[in-house]
Structure 1
Amino acid sequence: MAGKGEAAIDLEAEYNNRARVPDHQAVMLRWRAAAEAARAATPPLEIAYGSGEREVMDLFSAGDDAPVAVFLHGGYWQALDRSWFSGLAPALNAHGVSLAIPSYDLAPAVRLGHILRQVRRAADTVRERTGGRPVVFGHSAGGHMAACMLSEARASAAVAISGVFDLAPLIPTSLNVALRLDAAEAAALSPIHWPVPNGSTPGGTVLDCLVGGDESPEFLRQSRMMADLWEVQGVQTRYEALPGLNHFTVLDPLFDPDSEMVRRIVELAKPPGNTA
């Protein structure tokens, strides 16, 4: 929010990414096409992590003993599901890393706290299958939830791509019609206010905050703020604004097995001495 003497920030324009990127539908159609091709080539194993219709994840296995990365999709907690992102699997599978992609219930049918509880169960289900905490990476709303999973020691490491770590700026925007956040709930569910993972926490202490270089100043600020805040408290953080990428094309590197983003997730998924 703008302080005294500062120009007011148009939070609607800053956070409404579909309005900000006019060709977002074309990018999303590429996601869909890649997903359909991946599912046709290697149908995933469907794993229920709860009893609800959407409490299911797709597992694209790279082998029985392969480490598992968990991808948490975006959509501002109110759109999309696991089927849109199957196309991320081939790049990770090529490096011997399995990929789990859970769906979850959406606002306004449920509140954000309910969604977080579902994601916790999904991450815990992966750990129960593998015996170790997975690396968790996510986009937009999924970036927020990836950081939450790291804070709670449910992840061995987290890569948050274009995440929203302070939910308060969403309150006055049209996005909040479905989310129904008030100030107290936004503060309680913002990982900037959550405990940081540290050396005494049985889990990971690595958080990467990536964001498209062409995203709004607010998205750039959120990622840098999160990385800086946790770094001074002892977390190994990395902030990077990726040149030429917007809120949707920022996922493009995940489809390329030779990209730095994929190689980073592989590196985090296969750390020496990774334990439960």
Structure 2
Amino acid sequence: MTGKSRPDLEAGYNNRAACPDHPAVMARWKAEAQAARAAHPPTVLRYGPGPRETIDLFEAGPGTPIVAFIHGGYWQALDPSWFSWIAPPLLAHGISVAIPGYDLCPEVSLATIVDQMRTATALLTERAGGPPVLVGHSAGGHLAACLLSEGRAERAVSISGVFDLRPLVHTSINTALRLDPPEVARLSPLGWTVPEGAVLDCIVGGGETSEFLRQSRTMAEVWGAGGAQTRFEALGTLDHFTVLGPLADPDSTLVARIADLALSA
């Protein structure tokens, strides 16, 4: 924990309040996702019986590596259809893209969501003959780190992830999450087993709150000291929403890094 007051923690984790332009950014996500789905209709895979237990799979071709993008929304908002636009730049590199859905809090617990991502990742691993490279944003960055810790993937890029859940207990975000101290300890990958030799990039927008910068920097330091291959990078003045912008450009450094992780696996 940081010793910050409840108001400071609320400001540090309320990304929509911190980013007044987020409605325009999210509207662009939705429009670009619809265009991407029209140009590259995904195959829908089912990994469980629930309506949200599906994976949108954009295939680059037989035998191509898979990048799995796990969306954010504080485990309580959004779905894969918002993020289809992430697929075309990676398809251009010969990489298939999977975007799994999951149930949302408060209808289910965060522990249930972690279990769902375990099942979805197992399905993708079986389909590809090896684990996918994981890319997660915000809550998805947390989920990617959980899966990496358990050896369900070997390489991951966490963008604006939350790895220590303790501060969230003292914010309005916990109204839907309903986390208590024991569950926080169980579900914070900062304290999980460090996967020695696994690769974790902790990327964050340089214009994000001090709490999100701290989360990514600390995760890279702790896991790096434990034997994982970690890298911390703050991207310019990008905020919690615009930090995903480089994923739309097939020639961006971030897309090139993800492609390299997938193609060299």
Task: Output the TM-score relative to the length of structure 2.
Answer: 0.98
Query: Is the Cα contact below 8 Å between 2:70 and 2:141 reproduced in 1?
Result: yes
Query: Aligned ranges for residues 42-121 of structure 1 at < 5 Å?
Result: 42-121=40-119
SS at match of 2:44: strand
| 1:266 aligned residue | 259
| 2:153 aligned residue | 155
How many Å apart are 1:8 and its aligned residue? 7.5
Letter of the structure 1 residue corresponding to residue 240 of structure 2? H
More helix by share: 2
- Is 1:192 equivalent to 2:201 in the alignment? no
| 1:36 aligned residue | 34
| 1:248 aligned residue | 241
- Is 1:134 equivalent to 2:139 in the alignment? no
Looking at structure 1, the residues matched to 143 and 156 of structure 2 have their Cα atoms a distance apart, in angstroms, of 9
Distance 1:111-1:65 versus aligned 2 partners, 3 A rule: same
SS at match of 1:181: coil
Deviation beyond 2 Å, 4+ runs, structure 1: 6-9
Letter of the structure 2 residue corresponding to residue 225 of structure 1? T
Distance 1:123-1:2 versus aligned 2 partners, 3 A rule: closer
Distance 1:186-1:7 versus aligned 2 partners, 3 A rule: closer
How many Å apart are 1:9 and its aligned residue? 6.7
Query: Is the Cα contact below 8 Å between 1:67 and 1:134 reproduced in 2?
Result: yes
Q: Aligned pairs, how many?
A: 265
- Is 1:210 equivalent to 2:203 in the alignment? yes
How many Å apart are 1:2 and its aligned residue? 4.7
SS at match of 1:65: coil
**RMSD, matched Cα:** 1.2
Letter of the structure 1 residue corresponding to residue 46 of structure 2? A
Letter of the structure 1 residue corresponding to residue 144 of structure 2? A
Distance 1:48-1:2 versus aligned 2 partners, 3 A rule: closer
| Cα displacement string for residues 89-116 of structure 1 (whole angstroms, at most 9, x for unaligned residues) | 0000000000000110000000000000
How many Å apart are 1:7 and its aligned residue? 7.6
Query: Is the Cα contact below 8 Å between 2:6 and 2:171 reproduced in 1?
Result: no
Query: Is the Cα contact below 8 Å between 1:2 and 1:8 reproduced in 2?
Result: no
Looking at structure 2, the residues matched to 56 and 96 of structure 1 have their Cα atoms a distance apart, in angstroms, of 23
Task: Output the TM-score relative to the length of structure 1.
Answer: 0.94
**Which runs of 5 or more residues in structure 1 are unaligned?**
200-204
How many Å apart are 1:167 and its aligned residue? 0.2
Looking at structure 2, the residues matched to 89 and 253 of structure 1 have their Cα atoms a distance apart, in angstroms, of 12
Letter of the structure 2 residue corresponding to residue 208 of structure 1? D
